[in-house]
Amino acid sequence: MKQVVVFLLINLFVSGTNHQETNKDPIIIIRTEMGDITIELFAEKAPITVSNFLRYIDSSLFDNACFYRVVNSDNQPKDSIRIAVIQGGRWQNEDKGFPPIIHETTKMTGIMHKNGIISMVRSEPGTATSEFFICIEDQPELDFGGKRNKDGQGFAAFGKVIKGFDVVNKIYKTDAPGQYLGKKVVINKISRIS
């Protein structure tokens, strides 16, 4: 009888440990020609956005994508609400991707656009596909109720840079007079670490 109880307790512990492992937020790595950026995705808080991003990763659709846009204080003279981000993705290959996803606002997720947050690019709410950006410093005007978009819905934040912010800053400091980089920064691959 003791052996049965011990066996059941061990099984319970092992299955509980496995359950915890599957509930961990995924960690991904963006391998660029300038270095690697490691990001934790907040799957529990932003399940739709994270699932979509992982779908692109698992289908290798980010292979040979790029960072192509830098928005800084010098290159947005017509914008009354200024932001600081680097933007990347599949760059003009959207027709070969997946359909747009439902817009998960910061009001829904609680993930605010702080320094190092990754978020989805969109035009109208519900149009995000694979294009994303990373915040340089805090960007509250990109949150729900922010003034960067007239609709006030903000953008869908879904993860945070946990390593490689030096690479993010290197990309951010690349010359981008009209916001678009003359020489795009190649993303060799985005893959899961865990």
In 3D, which of 35, 52, 32, 33 has the Cα closest to residue 43? 52
User: What digits encode the pLDDT tens for the residues 52-74?
Assistant: 999 999 999 999 999 999 999 88
Q: Would you say 56 and 161 are in contact if contact means Cβ atoms under 8 Å apart?
A: no
What pTM, to 2 d.p., does this model score?
0.87
Q: Would you say 101 and 123 are in contact if contact means Cβ atoms under 8 Å apart?
A: no
Q: Would you say 50 and 111 are in contact if contact means Cβ atoms under 8 Å apart?
A: no
Which residue positions in the chain have pLDDT lower than 70? 1-23, 94-95
Helices (H), the chain: 2-22, 47-58, 106-109, 165-172
Hunting for tokens 């599949």 — which residue is that? 90
Q: Which CATH architecture is the domain 27-192 placed in?
A: Beta Barrel (2.40)
**What pLDDT does residue 15 have?**
40
